[in-house]
Structure 1
Amino acid sequence: MDWDEEEGMETTMEEEESDHRYAGPEDVACDVCNGRKQRALKSCLSCLVSYCEQHLQPHHGSPAFEKHELVDSSKDLQENIALRQQCVYTAENAEKQRKLAAIRLKIQQRIQERDKNVKLYYLEMEAISDSAAETVEDSEKIFTELTRVIEKKRDYVNHKIRSLRQIEKNRVKELQKKIEQEIADLKWKDSELQKLAHTEDENAFLQKLPSLSQPGTPTDTSSIPSLQDFKDVTESLTKVERNVGEVLRENSTDFKMAGTKVEVLLSPQEPSIRLGGVTGRWSSSMLTVCPNVNVDTRWTCRTDKIKEEQSSVNSWDKGTMGSNCT
């Protein structure tokens, strides 16, 4: 083969190879080439463009295109991209639905818990109302009993005071009669002595003088009771009033539902109220007037069972009229 033929063959091969780089009817053409377009090797899903080998080089060498996703060239690039986006959207939507379902499940569980709390609070309010109503009823019973005891003791004290008054008046009246009789006897003796002073009968003088010179035994006036005795009774009752009032003011006005432990002890025999370690008790023996008041007039008023933490109100006895009351 001569040189011309060989050169012609090489030219033909180059033309065929050059024709092979260009896009045919069935090939995907490069979207960047001007004029006759070369066949595209890759399509970029980020750029939405197909590139030939020459125009694809920036995607391999530039950092700006590192995150671009390259796929084999395709005529249906838009459809593939749309389908790919649909798949991505479906996956993302499924993930969102999963997260939303998890969040809703937590919310529904929280709602169920709160519903239980609401029901518990409702039951608690009913329990509080029932307890308060029961406590009010018990309080009425306690204060009614306290009032009854106080009124009973008041009547008893007043009765004993009136009895004491009559006894003392009778005793003073008896003493008054004795003293009046003593005065009458002394006046008679004084009159007889005055007559005797003017008599001239020596024998009569000597006979009468010894009897008239004896004044007799004077009546003892030290046993007359003082009005201070009744004042002492009033002072004693005032102490009872003050002590009971202090217990009521300190313990019955500071009840709290929280913060301070309140315990109401209800006993038919001895109703009591306990608040934070302080206890007030009342009983039928709070005020005692001795039933065996006699001529010697023994009188005792006593406060019992009014107690506070670490201290107590000492029971007291009034002894100005005696001290042997039981």
Structure 2
Amino acid sequence: MAELVFDTQNTLNCPRCQNLLKNPVTTTCGHSFCMDCIKRCWDQDASLRRAYSCPTCRATFNKRPALSRSTVLAEIVERINQAVPAGPGDVKCDVCKGRKLKAIKSCLVCLASYCQIHIRPHYESEAFKKHKLVNASPNLQQQICPQHHKALEIFCYNDWKCICVACMGDQHSGHTTVSAAAEMAIKQEELKIQNRDFTQQITDIGKNVQAFTKAVDSHKHSAQAAVEHSDRIFTELISSIQKRRTEVRQLIRAQEKRETGKINEHIQKLEQEISNLEKENDTLKLILHTEDHIHFFQNYSFLSGLYLCTTSPRDVNDLLTFENVDKSVSELKNQLDKVCEEHMDKISKKVADVQLFKPPWFQDNDLSSSTSESDSESVIVSLRGSLKRRRLIKNPE
């Protein structure tokens, strides 16, 4: 179906249907029609038995003319059909009817905007050669002097605004003026320099952002590695302390078993001595309590064979408890706490030194080669050495 795009006087519209030409054909008299439209017209002429004629100029033909497709017109119409209509934010052509096409230029003299088709007269006709064309503008009235209705082509330095030629002899008489286009070209060059500066600043800041982004990623990875390393080291420390705890427990239990075994053995010997002495004492009691002197002297000779005590009494050691061991273990704990506190202060300072922003006083040659990992290793070595030095539980034997 043909589309109503332009006004009825447009040469690209069919005189019969008033729509944009479809399959255009041109008669020998020079007029163009849609192929279907001219065929229907001549079919009607044939049915009425009258001469074939042009619907526009009424020129007659002896016989029905042969029709051929007008290639040039068809290509023009095809381009028009393919033209993109104006969108919500586009400037619309002021000449188009029906479907409005997108305007590409605005004329400051005509105060109208034109699409690619309707701007052609401004390029081809001498009558439009002096018209001022600008890029399609939705606010043409702002480019026209409201007082003199002329284009604002002059720039006034005194009032810092655009004026028309008539304004120069009116309220802007004596002011410093220049062509608005020339002044805009100068200002654009200044803005280009500023634009280059901004672009360079954006590039530099972008590189800085990338550097900090990379630094943040590296910082996070380093922090994660430090956390995993410290977890592993402290796990080893805990394991080492637990091992020492087991050793101390075993030492105490072994000493307890050893000393209680010896004491129990000595107690058994003492109890046997008591039993033997009680038996001998009973014999002595019988002799002591007899009144028969003959019996007394007969048994007295056996007194030389009485049981002699072989186990000498021993004093009990005053150190019966492990209180001194408790004190040694407590002292070890205090020493470890002290060492940990000292090294935690160092670790805290080293952690605080890991900063993404360099301090103002930062100098590259002031950097030490030490790392957080080496500091952690030194802490572990120190603690392990302290644990070895503080193994105060010894075998009494």
TM-score by length of 2: 0.42
